[in-house]
Amino acid sequence: MPTLTAKYWEPLEGGKVKCTLCPRECTIPPRGKGFCLVRQNKDRKLVTTVYSEITSANYDPVEKKPLYHFHPGRVIFSIGTNGCNLDCKSCQNWEIARQDTPHIRQVFTPEMAVEYAGKYDSVGIAYTYNDPIIWFEFVKDTAEKVKEAGLKNVMVTNGNINIDALRELLPLIDAFNVDLKGMDREYYLKFSSFPNPNVWKVCEEIKKAGKHLELTKLIVPGFDEFTPEYFERFAKWVAENLGREVPMHYSRFFPAYKLLNTPPTPVEVIDMAYDVSKEYLYYVYVGNVIEPERESTYCPKCGTLLVRRVGYNTEVLFTPDGKCPECGRPVDFVF
Ligand code: SF4
Ligand SMILES: [Zn+2]
pLDDT at 99: 84
pLDDT at 37: 95
Determine if ligand 1 sits within 6 Å of the CB of residue 86. Answer: no
**C-alpha of residue 323 to centroid of ligand 2, in Å:** 8
Task: Give whole-number Cα distances, 260 to 89, 92, 96, 326, in Å.
Answer: 10, 11, 18, 47
Determine if ligand 1 sits within 6 Å of the CB of residue 98. Answer: no
- Is the CB of residue 56 less than 8 Å from the CB of residue 8? no
pLDDT at 104: 73
Q: Is 84 known to sit in a ligand binding site?
A: yes
Tell me the per-residue pLDDT of 297-331, one tens digit each, with 9 for 90 and over: 999 999 999 999 998 899 999 999 999 999 999 99
pLDDT at 105: 79
Hey, what domains does the chain have and what are their CATH numbers?
4-48 (no CATH), 53-295 (3.20.20.70), 300-335 (no CATH)
pLDDT at 2: 61
Q: Whose CA is nearest to atom 4 of ligand 1?
A: 19
What stretches in the chain show pLDDT beneath 50? none
**306 contacts: CB under 8 Å, gap ≥ 6:** 296, 297, 298, 299, 316, 317, 318, 324, 331
Q: Is 302 known to sit in a ligand binding site?
A: no
Looking from the CA of residue 136, the nearest atom of ligand 1 is 1
- Nearest 10 degrees: CA dihedral of 64, 68, 73, 78? -40
